[in-house]
Chain A
């Protein structure tokens, strides 16, 4: 099924979504720059180009809903409400980082806002999200768990185990496949038995196969709102395939040269942020409103970057903390 949106969200919501996408974009651009400056170590997996999925969902979710995402999770963690300065500090390995420098780019968590982790072993978080949804049912909290993952993840066992369990137990969980056409360097079509990696598997679990334009945040928002409401009302899980594209390579080590030039060109022309700006301008947003959002995001990111750069380095004493609930790491008496 292809979902088309007639009306779309109201202008306030759309401006909020526009701001979210811009925040995500600027955050990751700066993260990349800080990487090139040698301040972000290790690796990064940017979601530049995929912001509409994160923003559309984050705008539609309730504040106590739970997000589970992947190593490509800066956007999701940020847009659920993690403080930008502390998120950037985490990428810099500083003590003020959301995980005290113990997580890093691939493992961002901000539990106070329901960002319940970025998972870097492909597929692991699908059953975990189902479990969080199970607890929500048992505790009667009416929370929904939303689980984002890539197209490549549809070929690992945990995907299938989680979908089956979620359906059998009727759990309030929304599985969102961000189909960016590649699993690492391999085109998804060349390693997958069906054409639509997520949607074509839905029938096996009695679910509707939903494919949406993952670069259209209005469509994502409406689809999300629908799936969230259904889950909250006891209607069980959904599986949504949002087709999108990452502008860069898989990770900072990958220039992405395996992708045909024409394909890259076409998708860059469908960059969700300028497309959305044009739509909002046509839907009654004034230049002042749009420019206001843009200016405000520019200063917001400067503050976050400055905060991260100024953040103290972690004390090595913190190495041995938080293995156990008593705060320490002792395994013997």
Chain B
């Protein structure tokens, strides 16, 4: 049996699955309990698990992240919600200086099994401070695992894997995907961090995508197929650990590589992936690698401007077609 659910429903289902299984799993954040989250990703959890385990916090991002860090040191497996990933900037000390480095700096004395969930990405006309794609912030800090699922099924499977992971995980939920639907099987679902998914296969090009760029890449691949170009689409799902094996093997199969990145150009995740391909698979390449990204600008709010900024299906199709000509 399978069921069609939304990406946002998958978040609550994943958390419920893990909270049911392990009573050391807690959820805290602004408006996550009584209100069920501003994106309605956590409704029902308070009623089901009680106010000790699902708890509203003050607007104190440093206290939220500090609290889950301290709690993880002392026997819980807490999950924190940071409402918008942009707000990570207000508690980045706790994330990047403290959480990421604690195991290393204590030479393994202190483990931090915690998850920071956060609504990430654009396409919802919120403007430059509520729309960023910030996976690369987390990716650039040693000691953080970085997950960004694109489907309801992966939300559940990878959230379960993140909660069970002994290391800190930053879990990016894409705002633009919350209403999207997908099939999930009945029963417990647990995935594996660090496994990319080849979501479409074709011999002519490899398109590497993440989160909301995955459905766009798939749609672009369909349009390309109509023009006689059969593309492979890889959903990276996880940036750390990075499934370079899958990436490199699809590059070997197609010889042409495109990244589709929602982040601004400089130092986006694609830059790292491309440098790995250039170093390790250069002789598999038939043409230069092309990165399709947001320009290096803050994201504008207007629908017309935002749509012209974030990589679109048309831009992907045109870019791939042009470079294969």
Contact = CB atoms under 8 A, between A and B. Distances in A.
A245 interface: no
B62 A161 contact: yes
Nearest to B76: A135
A143 B74 contact: yes
Interface in B82-115: 93-94, 97-98, 102-111, 113
B240 interface: yes
B134 interface: no
Size class of B's contact patch?
35 or more
B66 A333 contact: no
Contact of B110 (A109, A121, A134): A109
B281 interface: no
Interface stretch (A33-41, A190-198, A292-300, A324-332): A324-332
Contact of B244 (A134, A322, A333): A333
A81 to B, nearest CB: 14
B241 A145 contact: no
Interface in B241-289: 241-245, 276
A131 B69 contact: yes
Interface residues of A, number: 54
A134 B70 contact: yes
Nearest to B67: A131
Interface in A152-166: 157-158, 161-162, 164-165
B66 A162 contact: yes
A69 interface: no
Interface stretch (A95-103, A247-255, A263-271): A95-103
Nearest to A314: B107
Interface string A80-120: 00000000000000000011101100010111100011010
**Which of A109, A158, A161, A322 lies at the interface centre, i.e. has the most chain B CB atoms within 10 A of its CB?**
A161
A332 B65 CA distance: 26
A323 B104 contact: yes
A116 to B, nearest CB: 6
A210 interface: no
Contact of A129 (B68, B70, B244): B70
A116 B63 contact: no
B323 interface: no
B219 interface: no
A138 interface: yes
A329 B67 contact: no
Given A135-B75, A329-B142, A158 B107 contact: no
B196 to A, nearest CB: 10
A127 interface: yes
Contacts of A107: 105-106
A124 interface: yes
A331 B108 contact: no
A211 B105 CA distance: 34
A117 B103 CA distance: 11
Interface string A192-227: 000000000000000000000000000000000000
A139 B69 contact: no
Contacts of B105: 99, 102-103, 107, 109
A139 B75 contact: yes
A102 B110 CA distance: 13
A126 B241 contact: no
A331 B110 CA distance: 20
Given A131-B71, A143-B74, A331 B241 contact: yes
A128 interface: yes
B242 A332 contact: yes
Interface of B: 24, 26, 52, 55, 57-58, 60-76, 78, 93-94, 97-98, 102-111, 113, 142-143, 165-167, 194, 240-245, 276
Q: Give me the 7 closest cross-chain CB pairs, A-B, nearest first.
A: A127-B66, A131-B70, A325-B166, A131-B67, A100-B107, A132-B70, A135-B74
16 contacts: A66-B74, A103-B105, A103-B106, A117-B106, A124-B62, A124-B66, A126-B66, A128-B98, A129-B70, A132-B74, A134-B76, A161-B63, A168-B58, A321-B108, A323-B104, A324-B103
Interface of A: 66, 98-100, 102-103, 107, 109-112, 116-117, 119, 121, 123-136, 138-139, 141, 143, 145, 157-158, 161-162, 164-165, 168-169, 318, 321-325, 327, 329-333
Given A318-B107, A322-B108, A333-B245, 11 more contacts: A109-B109, A111-B109, A131-B66, A134-B67, A139-B24, A145-B70, A165-B60, A323-B103, A324-B103, A331-B142, A332-B242
